Chains A and B, each alone.
Chain A
């Protein structure tokens, strides 16, 4: 390939940091290491957190992030910009790797629980004075509640609520209709409420705000 037809020529006028994900991918596939490095730094955090929020395991998150970008190195040409963003594409790949880990190693899912209606109260095991709940405890309770959701509900909560992606992006990643995302999220929130719902006597106190509710602090 000569310099004239090198893909990078068409982007040479812009600094690489201003290039879109698709443009960086194009450069990366032509062998531009800087483009790959920039793309990795731009997207690895979201992928890592997605895998961590889905699995609850730092090791799984680390491995999945590696796998996603190795896939991008080897098979990045399969990305089709007409079908969605590169970010959605990477999340979709990450999701597949996470689910593969779930299938192959159940121990990586601390709260794998496919019973939709099974209540989960993280405070039942270690009850403590309501006022003693700290923000860190609240976060940990929510984290555990999310991890206890069945996969199909967990992933919409992680994508829509924790990654703050739109319904459209989530539907792209999951390969389903937007209405499916909406209904699953509705169901997931109901399950989370059921798992985190404070005991009746704390209901009144909960009205004071998130810091005073037993499960939400």
Chain B
């Protein structure tokens, strides 16, 4: 070990820090033959003792007792002014509300996009009468739920999505009540399609249809007709069939009806 190397480790050596055994023995050997480095080591050791004396002398010093009292007071005030659990709860509620609103808007936009990407057959099917046709068009072009909220009790005549859907459902309910097979199919002179009545999905019943919603055109395997009690032509078992799903304002699929091109039946 040379003097430069010793100088670089003298401090740690004096502090008694962990050193490699070989390095330590080399340092000791060097000081035995080098007066300069032996003096440096002495100084380092004295410095170390001085620093430790200073640390020990200050070890009992601490903040005044009044400091703790002031801080505890601040802690209590903070508890009153900023109750952490409540703020976290509020934040969670707000985040949930924002997320729900976002999902609702996104769903309605997606439904509208899907409907417009088709040739709006649902409008034709659900428009056996001019007024219903107009109202159904209104459903597709005003999907915003906020507009529904604006309907007051005395404004039920307004053409709004909620009312439109209720009307079209009422039409189908009337048709079903007539026990007439032809009236069970919502026919339109202008339309090239025919459809079944809306069939409730899950535990929904006809009264829940009054809540309004959106109609979404989908395609399903023809075999699914059987699960709704509709006869299935086994020769066309593997084909797909169009259907309209009634989706309520909360995004739940409430009812379904199956649609066919008129020329096919």
Contacts and interface: CB of A to CB of B under 8 A. Distances in A.
Nearest to A36: B75
Interface stretch (B38-46, B128-136, B180-188, B191-199): B38-46
Contacts of B68: 37, 40-41, 44
A120 B72 CA distance: 43
Contacts of A141: 50
Interface residues of B, number: 39
Interface in A108-145: 135, 138-139, 141-143
A175 interface: no
A53 interface: yes
Contact of A161 (B55, B64, B88): B55
24 contacts: A1-B85, A33-B79, A37-B68, A40-B71, A41-B68, A44-B62, A44-B68, A47-B63, A48-B61, A49-B58, A52-B58, A138-B50, A139-B50, A139-B53, A142-B53, A142-B54, A143-B54, A157-B51, A161-B51, A192-B47, A193-B43, A197-B43, A203-B39, A210-B53
Contacts of B78: 73-74
B50 A216 contact: yes
B51 A30 contact: no
A216 B47 contact: yes
Interface in A170-217: 185-186, 189, 192-193, 196-197, 203, 206-207, 210, 213, 215-217
Interface of B: 8, 11, 39, 42-44, 46-55, 57-59, 61-64, 67-68, 70-72, 74-76, 78-79, 83-86, 88-89
B119 to A, nearest CB: 54
Interface residues of A, number: 52
Given A30-B84, A30-B85, A161-B48, 13 more contacts: A31-B84, A44-B68, A61-B63, A66-B71, A73-B74, A139-B50, A142-B53, A161-B52, A162-B58, A185-B11, A193-B47, A197-B43, A206-B42
A37 B52 CA distance: 29
A197 B39 CA distance: 11
A70 to B, nearest CB: 6
Contact of A49 (B49, B61, B70): B61
A216 B49 contact: yes
Contacts of B83: 31
Nearest to A189: B11
B61 A45 contact: yes
Given A73-B75, A142-B50, A62 B67 contact: yes
